[in-house]
């Protein structure tokens, strides 16, 4: 079985959808392949896009921002993951990029969140999603909200992807789901297509049902998720039919990262074991391996982002982080990824010390500052996840750590914020490294005709992470790959 198109996109999440839409808009015929039904980690995400420089939502909310201010902050986070020229372009294009998403049907809102949080409730959709408060003193740019959450109830990633998928179909792109890419086709040193295995009929329907049923259990209760996806993989091996999809001018890999590759995580980031893998079994590094087998190189594969959120409730920012020796560290106003990385550096163990004055306010904020999916976690760590005692010596003894300096008013509480703090308080994580690409075009270096985007490639968020930066980079790098592969299609 054989299919031919100008452009073939491997992976149908945010980056793949954006690449496909741009390529189709440029006049290319496009085929998108996805091992499952599409969506990937994008659909499981919070649907937050980090954007600034004067977006429509910022202006409506009365927020003053500029591309220069956004760049000044992000260069502290991005560091040398990409060149300053690329980061500058990312910032200068940011507001237009968000407007482009709106043109595709993705809804955003200017409802501004008045408190610091890791993810706002359904009342708010614009919030401060990074570590801006901690980076600058009074001489730097004023911290501003740049987290643009897709307007939808609950976690908004599914709505974000649904609208992009609809736009992809409107663009005339052919989407082939339940189709697994297994090898790139090379002709005269250039990528010319993809060899796949695809499912049809009843096996296809069963595979689709198993992957849908297994998505959330795979994250929150891995033993069940692994069994369901194991059955799906069995269907692929037993009933998958060979398929070659020929690409006249180029292939875009946008198949996610490798957080589902447990062996790779053990090798590259053993300290991260015990975190909650944010992704799907499709994030097994398969797309990255395709690029490597074709001659591509990888970088920053040891960059794994683990998130330990202190907020909500916002009052907990007034606490202090301590390690197993009782020594203070870190800054509770920073985004959860920065806090998580600092905890990893201390052996994965940490506690948040709060006094009774802070704890009372925090408990009063639970009802108004948390979404339903956050509430059970907050109630866990404000009850079973902490110990309380009248003196600092007693509370440290209960927690089994060194005695910290007193802070706040007694009685004192120590909240366990370790990576392995318990089932009720998981620590999400994802991988940030991938294929090395030309930053002007998105083409994989050394492999003509092959492009990469999103978490399959080194990008803006490959050094450190703040909320919304991965989706923003998926849009940025996906569109870049789609635009430049079209130029090849016109040759």
Listed residue (157, 136, 177) closest to 428, CA to CA: 157
What is the tens place of the pLDDT at every residue in 168-223?
Answer: 999 999 999 999 999 999 999 999 999 999 999 999 999 999 999 988 888 888 88
What is the tens place of the pLDDT at every residue in 249-279?
Answer: 999 999 999 999 989 998 887 778 777 888 9
Q: Is the pLDDT of residue 491 over 80?
A: no
Q: What is the mean pLDDT of residues 317-330?
A: 96
CATH class label, 2-41+157-304+430-489: alpha beta
Listed residue (419, 455, 465, 428) closest to 284, CA to CA: 455
Q: What is the mean pLDDT of residues 225-251?
A: 96
- Residue 143 DSSP symbol: P
In this prediction, residue 488 carries a pLDDT of: 65
Listed residue (35, 20, 27, 18) closest to 279, CA to CA: 35
Q: Which residue reads 């003196």 in tokens? A: 391
- 256-286 burial, b for 16+ CB within 10 Å, e for fewer? bbbbbbeebbeebbeebeebbbbbbbbbbbb
Listed residue (265, 361, 351) closest to 313, CA to CA: 361
Q: Who contacts 124 (Cβ-Cβ below 8 Å, separation ≥6)?
A: 111, 112, 113, 114, 149
CA dist., res. 187 & res. 136, Å (int): 52
Q: Is the pLDDT of residue 422 over 90?
A: no
| Fold match flag (2-41+157-304+430-489 vs 308-416) | no
Q: Is the pLDDT of residue 115 over 60?
A: yes
322: which 2 tokens?
Answer: 């301590």
Q: Who contacts 462 (Cβ-Cβ below 8 Å, separation ≥6)?
A: 81, 82, 299, 300, 303, 432, 433, 434
CA dist., res. 126 & res. 170, Å (int): 28
In this prediction, residue 447 carries a pLDDT of: 98
Grade residue 108 by pLDDT with cuts at 50, 70 and 90: very high
Listed residue (396, 367, 387, 388) closest to 379, CA to CA: 367
Q: Where are the domains of the chain?
A: 2-41+157-304+430-489, 48-149, 308-416
What is the tens place of the pLDDT at every residue in 2-30?
Answer: 999 999 999 999 999 999 999 999 999 99
Alpha helices per DSSP H over 333-434 = 336-345, 356-369, 372-381, 392-399
Contact 483, 26 (CB under 8 A): yes
- Identify any residues that bridge with 430 across adjacent strands, giving them in sequence order: 305
Please report, rounded to a whole number, the percentage of residues in the chain having pLDDT higher than 70.
98
In this prediction, residue 137 carries a pLDDT of: 66
What is the tens place of the pLDDT at every residue in 446-486?
Answer: 999 999 999 999 999 999 999 999 999 999 999 999 999 99
CA dist., res. 403 & res. 394, Å (int): 9
Give domain 308-416's CATH architecture.
Answer: Alpha-Beta Complex (3.90)
CA dist., res. 80 & res. 160, Å (int): 29
What is the tens place of the pLDDT at every residue in 272-286?
Answer: 877 788 899 999 999
Q: Is this prediction's pTM over 0.75?
A: yes
């Amino acid at each position: 079985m054989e299919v031919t198109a100008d452009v073939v996109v491997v992976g149908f999440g945010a980056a793949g959808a954006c690449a496909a839409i741009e390529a189709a808009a440029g006049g290319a015929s496009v085929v998108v392949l996805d091992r499952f039904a599409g969506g990937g980690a994008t659909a499981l995400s919070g649907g937050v896009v980090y954007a600034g420089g004067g977006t429509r939502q910022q202006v409506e909310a009365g927020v003053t921002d500029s591309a220069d201010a956004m760049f000044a902050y992000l260069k502290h986070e991005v560091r040398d993951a990409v060149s300053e020229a690329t980061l500058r372009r990312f910032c200068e294009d940011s507001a237009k990029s968000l407007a482009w998403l709106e043109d595709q049907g993705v809804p955003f809102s200017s409802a501004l969140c008045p408190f610091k949080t890791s993810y706002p409730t359904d009342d708010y959709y614009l919030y401060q999603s990074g570590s801006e408060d901690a980076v600058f003193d009074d001489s730097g740019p004023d911290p501003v909200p740049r987290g643009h959450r897709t307007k939808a109830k609950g976690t908004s990633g599914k709505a974000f992807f649904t609208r992009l998928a609809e736009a992809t179909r409107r663009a005339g792109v052919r989407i082939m789901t339940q189709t697994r890419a297994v090898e790139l086709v090379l002709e005269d040193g250039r990528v010319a297509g993809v060899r796949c295995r695809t499912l049809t009929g009843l096996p296809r329907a069963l595979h689709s049902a198993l992957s849908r049923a297994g998505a959330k259990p795979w994250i929150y209760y891995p033993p069940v998720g692994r069994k369901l996806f194991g059955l799906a993989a069995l269907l692929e091996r037993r009933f998958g039919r060979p398929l070659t999809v020929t690409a006249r001018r180029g292939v875009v890999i946008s198949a996610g990262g490798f957080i589902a590759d447990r062996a790779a995580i053990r090798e590259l980031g053993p300290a991260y074991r015990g975190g909650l893998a944010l992704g799907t079994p499709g994030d097994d590094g398969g797309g990255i391996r395709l690029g490597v087998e074709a001659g591509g190189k990888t970088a920053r594969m040891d960059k794994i982002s683990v998130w330990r959120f202190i907020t909500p409730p916002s009052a907990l920012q007034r606490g202090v982080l301590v390690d197993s020796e009782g020594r203070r560290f870190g800054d509770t106003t920073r985004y959860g990824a920065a806090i998580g990385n600092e905890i990893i550096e201390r052996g994965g163990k940490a506690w948040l010390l709060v006094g009774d004055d802070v704890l009372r306010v925090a408990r009063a904020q639970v009802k108004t500052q948390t979404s339903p999916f956050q509430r059970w976690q907050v109630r866990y760590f404000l009850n079973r996840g902490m110990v309380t005692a009248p003196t600092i010596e007693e509370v440290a003894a209960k927690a089994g750590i060194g005695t910290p300096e007193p802070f706040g008013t007694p009685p004192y509480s120590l909240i366990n914020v370790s990576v392995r703090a318990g089932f009720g308080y998981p620590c999400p994580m994802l991988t940030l490294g991938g294929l090395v690409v030309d930053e002007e075009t998105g083409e994989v270096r050394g492999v003509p005709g092959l492009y990469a985007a999103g978490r399959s490639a080194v990008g803006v968020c490959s050094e450190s992470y703040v909320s919304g930066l991965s989706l923003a980079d998926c849009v940025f790098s996906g569109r870049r790959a789609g635009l430049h592969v079209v130029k090849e299609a016109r040759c």
